[in-house]
């Protein structure tokens, strides 16, 4: 038996098919993964993401610490509530994890990290605090729900604590609000689906009430299956698949998350990435659209004239496009028309620029 | 428990076999199998006239989750495959024993059918798995 989120019994009550993910027993789907996917693109879907961990970083040195720890620069978070996506790198430029970090003003910062990497992340983060006035606290007491889709925010608003409601409605993208008087409630206009919505942290004891309230507001419960196809359509990377400790951000389409300026900010991994940046052998990270029938899967080979030129890192079926799509690492200069080896056969594909779908709209030429 | 029609034969790898009594059988995957796979998005059907051995992988069913081989339950010749699945692979989810059939086979030894699982034995086999 794996770890259970505070919503475990809600999932079994709904008859979810459960799977083991990163040490947690999580819902894969509640009936049809494809219908769940469409619900998020067309209206609103609800995800239990309580397996992901909020980590609070506080103390006088919190900012200077994070400017060394993270490859993106928290100095960009000029006011409380702003959020930033970043990789946390090792000295060799490999990715320890990817995360979202929020500025919490006087309370410091909050990072939200992946489930499977939580223990590793905490150990690494703790080790980097040496000699700095900074504290690291994993918030095991909080649950996290993601409500995503064009209708998600409107359907969530009546269920938020009254004092947070107006501030939440006024949030810009990648901004968060929390209310000191409602200990633990933290609402961010962020997500992992390519749609508008919230990620809501709240005390674990209140999670079931919010969950049921959102179901009553006609928000479709969604499992990890739909979460994966939604993020793939949105062209968002998955840690452990598209990048990891061996494959760094420059090889995974995450160059945009590296803050090279100011020059003197010597974040962990910077020197290794500087060398990698200028390496002509470095592969491109691209989107793939399978133009024939079949399904792209991780580790399939990308072919040009029968010769391997790269590898699929994430693949699957896109419910929106009704085609298979993927992310892949290919040799620089690979022409758009290529093929992918599926069960020994070369199946026609085309290189495209992700995202495939954002805000309900197809963003590539089919 | 999922639907296990009494008039069919089964394999431990979750294929069902319908005997037409004219030297041909139809093969598909069980309700239990389609449910475990999740939404099916692609089916690679076998070519007609292909000769297959018993337990030979001859079709592939891909769900949102993974690709699964479908094994021929008997040795023989593929006489027809369900081309409907090219456009509507989810027929296997919606109608695993009817519109979701995968291929028809002329077994070399029709007597071999009796060696396959009956409904009770298949039900037991599924229970033992879980």
Residue A301 pLDDT greater than 60, yes or no: yes
By percentage, how much of chain A surpasses pLDDT 70?
Answer: 99
What string of pLDDT tens digits covers the 130 residues of chain B? 689 999 999 999 999 999 999 999 999 999 999 999 999 999 999 999 999 999 999 999 999 989 999 999 999 999 999 999 999 999 999 999 999 999 999 999 989 999 999 999 999 999 998 7
Residue A182 pLDDT greater than 70, yes or no: no
If one counts every other C-beta atom within 10 angstroms of the C-beta of residue A75, the result is: 15
DSSP labels, B102-118: -EEEEES-GGGGGGSB-
Region A152-161 average pLDDT: 98
Q: What is the pLDDT of residue A170?
A: 98
Average pLDDT, chain A: 97
Residue A143 pLDDT greater than 60, yes or no: yes
Residue with tokens 């609000």: A177
Q: What is the pLDDT of residue A181?
A: 63
Note the residue count of chain A. 366
DSSP A173: T
Residue A183 pLDDT greater than 80, yes or no: no
Which residues of B fall within a CB distance of 8 Å from A324? Answer: 41-42
Q: What is the pLDDT of residue A65?
A: 98
CA–CA separation, A217 vs A43, rounded Å? Answer: 11
Which residues of A fall within a CB distance of 8 Å from B39? Answer: 32-34
Give the pLDDT confidence of A249-269 residue by residue, as tens digits: 999 999 999 999 999 999 999
Q: What is the pLDDT of residue A365?
A: 86
Q: Can you read off the two tokens belonging to residue B60?
A: 């592939």
CA–CA separation, A110 vs A74, rounded Å? Answer: 11
- The separation between CA A316 and the C-alpha centre of its own chain, rounded to angstroms, equals 17
CA dihedral B51, A296, A25, A56 (to 10 degrees): 170
If one counts every other C-beta atom within 10 angstroms of the C-beta of residue A198, the result is: 21
Residue-range domain boundaries for chain B: 9-107
Q: What is the pLDDT of residue B110?
A: 86
Of A28, A229, A295, the CB nearest to B42: A295
Q: What is the pLDDT of residue B1?
A: 62
CA–CA separation, A253 vs B60, rounded Å? Answer: 32
Q: Is A33 on the interface with B (CB under 8 A)?
A: yes
Q: Which of A315, A258, A213 is nearest to A95 (CA)?
A: A258
CA distance B69 to chain A (A): 11
DSSP labels, B45-81: PPPTT-EE-TT-EEEEEEESS-EEEEE-SSSEEEEEE
Identify the sign of the CA torsion B70, B72, B77, B79. Answer: negative
ipTM of the complex: 0.89
Minimal Cα distance from A294: which residue of B? B42
Q: Any idea what the Cα angle at residue A114 is, between residues A219 and A185, rounded to 5°?
A: 55
pLDDT bin (cut points 50, 70, 90) of residue A180 is confident
Q: Is the peptide bond before A262 cis (omega within 30 degrees of 0)?
A: yes
CA–CA separation, B58 vs B76, rounded Å? Answer: 12
Class of domain B9-107: mainly beta
CA–CA separation, B15 vs B72, rounded Å? Answer: 8
Give the pLDDT confidence of A24-43 residue by residue, as tens digits: 999 999 999 999 999 999 99
Q: What is the pLDDT of residue A152?
A: 98
Judged by phi (left if over 0) then psi (alpha if -120 to 50, else beta), residue A180 lies in alpha
Region A67-77 average pLDDT: 98
């Amino acid at each position: 038996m794996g770890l259970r989120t505070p919503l475990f019994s809600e999932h079994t009550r709904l008859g979810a098919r459960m799977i083991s993910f990163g040490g947690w027993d999580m819902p894969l789907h509640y009936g049809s993964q494809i219908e769940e996917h469409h619900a998020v693109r067309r209206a609103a879907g609800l995800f239990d993401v309580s397996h992901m961990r909020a980590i609070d970083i506080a103390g006088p040195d919190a900012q200077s610490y994070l400017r060394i720890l993270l490859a993106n620069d928290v100095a960009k978070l000029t006011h409380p509530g702003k959020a930033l996506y970043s990789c946390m790198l090792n000295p060799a430029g490999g990715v320890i994890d990817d995360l979202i970090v929020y500025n919490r003003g006087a309370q410091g910062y909050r990072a939200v990290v992946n489930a499977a990497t939580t223990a590793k992340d905490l150990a690494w983060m703790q080790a980097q605090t040496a000699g700095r006035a900074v504290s690291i606290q994993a918030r095991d007491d909080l649950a996290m729900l993601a409500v995503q889709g064009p209708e998600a925010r409107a359907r969530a608003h009546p269920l938020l604590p009254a004092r947070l409601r107006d501030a939440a409605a006024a949030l810009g993208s990648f901004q968060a609000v929390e209310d000191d008087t409602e200990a633990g409630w933290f609402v961010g206009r962020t997500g992992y689906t390519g749609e508008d919505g919230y990620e809501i942290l709240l005390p674990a004891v209140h999670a079931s009430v919010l969950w049921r309230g959102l179901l009553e507001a006609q928000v479709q419960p969604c499992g990890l299956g739909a979460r994966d196809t939604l993020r793939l359509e949105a062209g968002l990377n998955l840690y452990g698949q598209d990048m990891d400790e061996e494959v760094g951000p420059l090889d995974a389409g995450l160059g945009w998350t590296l803050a090279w300026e100011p020059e003197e900010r010597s974040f962990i991994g910077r020197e290794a990435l500087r060398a990698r940046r200028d390496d002509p052998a470095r592969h491109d990270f691209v989107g793939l659209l399978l133009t024939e029938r079949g399904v792209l899967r991780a580790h399939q080979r990308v072919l040009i004239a029968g010769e391997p030129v790269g590898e699929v890192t994430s693949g699957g079926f896109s419910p929106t496009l009704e085609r298979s799509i993927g992310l892949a690492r290919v040799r620089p200069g690979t022409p758009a028309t290529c093929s992918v080896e599926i069960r020994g056969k070369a199946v026609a594909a085309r290189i495209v620029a992700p995202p495939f779908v954002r805000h309900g709209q197809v963003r590539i030429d089919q | 428990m999922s639907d296990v029609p009494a008039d069919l034969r089964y394999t431990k790898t979750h294929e069902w076999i319908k005997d037409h009594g004219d030297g041909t059988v139809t093969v598909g995957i069980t309700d239990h199998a389609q449910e475990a796979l999740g939404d099916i998005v692609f089916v690679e059907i076998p070519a007609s006239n292909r000769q297959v051995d018993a337990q030979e992988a001859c079709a592939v069913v891909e769900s949102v989750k993974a690709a699964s081989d479908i094994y021929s339950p008997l040795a023989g010749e593929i006489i027809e495959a369900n081309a409907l699945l090219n456009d509507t692979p989810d027929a296997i989810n919606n109608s695993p024993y009817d519109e979701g059939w995968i291929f028809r086979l002329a077994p070399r030894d029709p007597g071999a059918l009796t060696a396959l699982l009956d409904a009770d034995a298949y039900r037991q086999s599924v229970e033992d798995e879980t």
